[in-house]
Amino acid sequence: MENEISRFIAYLQIEKGSSPHTTDNYAKDLQQFRAFMAREQLNDLRTITYINVRTFLAELQQQDYAKRSVSRKLSALRSFFNFLVREEMLETSPFHFVRTPKLDKKLPKFLYVEEMEELLGLPDPHTEYGRRDRAILETLYASGMRVSELVGLNLASLDLGIGVALVFGKGAKERYVPLGEHAVEALKQYMDHARTKLLGDPSNPALFINSKGTRLSDRSVRRIMDQYVNQLSKSRKISPHTIRHSFATHMLEAGADLRTVQELLGHVNLSTTQIYTHITKDHLQTIYNRAHPRA
């Protein structure tokens, strides 16, 4: 099975353009299923049946895996076995009749406009790292891009003259996103006064640079966020993705239509974007309850 897993992961990376986060998780899920096969003395993928799959799912349930985790593991295994069928290594997939558990709707966390303004004002504009961090936060909020898209930006990705950035999203899809005047100004300050001081190799095309002079990673951006969130003294968990959720929520609250927000976020399906309409309804209800004397 190890060889088949390697081929499948290569297929995800090269043909599907899946993110490193997805491929890493899928690889772990497949190794977990491989360990299950060893325990059940199943030595051939062709012998896996629907009953074996149900036994594996029962194990996950006994181990108290969340529905969302089970759903992802099923997605990984279903994709893997479909790949094997497509490659004519199997005739049918044992996951064909397995249903994905129905997930509870989980509303994304977001910051109110005032909270977002407070967060954006925390980085020190007089230091190299402060200028970089402000540019990061302003860019995330102005564009709604994913943190993986942010760290993938190069100098050539930007056109600050017209205030846009070219980002590479999921599935190797490109899209242009607007940056807005605050993000453009923060990026100019960073590029003019900080980036060259942080840079190691002058030929490095990366926009955002870490303390070692190389491209900033997803994990580093999360650590930077944690640093400023601690200053905000917020008890709830706030991540770079929270800024993306805040961007979408604030756009819809200000009157942007759903299709526009879908395009800006790089969502393939409108249904993915529609989750934010639930947030705005909750927000309106909260304001009503707070403001109306008979609420």
> Which residues participate in catalysis according to the annotation?
146, 170, 241, 244, 267, 276
Question: What are 138's two structure tokens?
Answer: 């302003």
Question: What are 126's two structure tokens?
Answer: 């007089």
Count CA atoms closer than 13 A to 2's CA, side-chain side: 2
Q: Taking the CB of residue 114, how many other CB atoms lie within 10 A of it?
A: 8
Q: Taking the CB of residue 46, how many other CB atoms lie within 10 A of it?
A: 11
Question: What are 72's two structure tokens?
Answer: 């992802």
* CA–CA gap between residue 295 and residue 291 (Å, rounded): 8
Judge whether 73 and 56 are in contact, CB under 8 Å. no
Question: What are 221's two structure tokens?
Answer: 């951006």
User: Which amino acid type is present at position 266?
Assistant: G
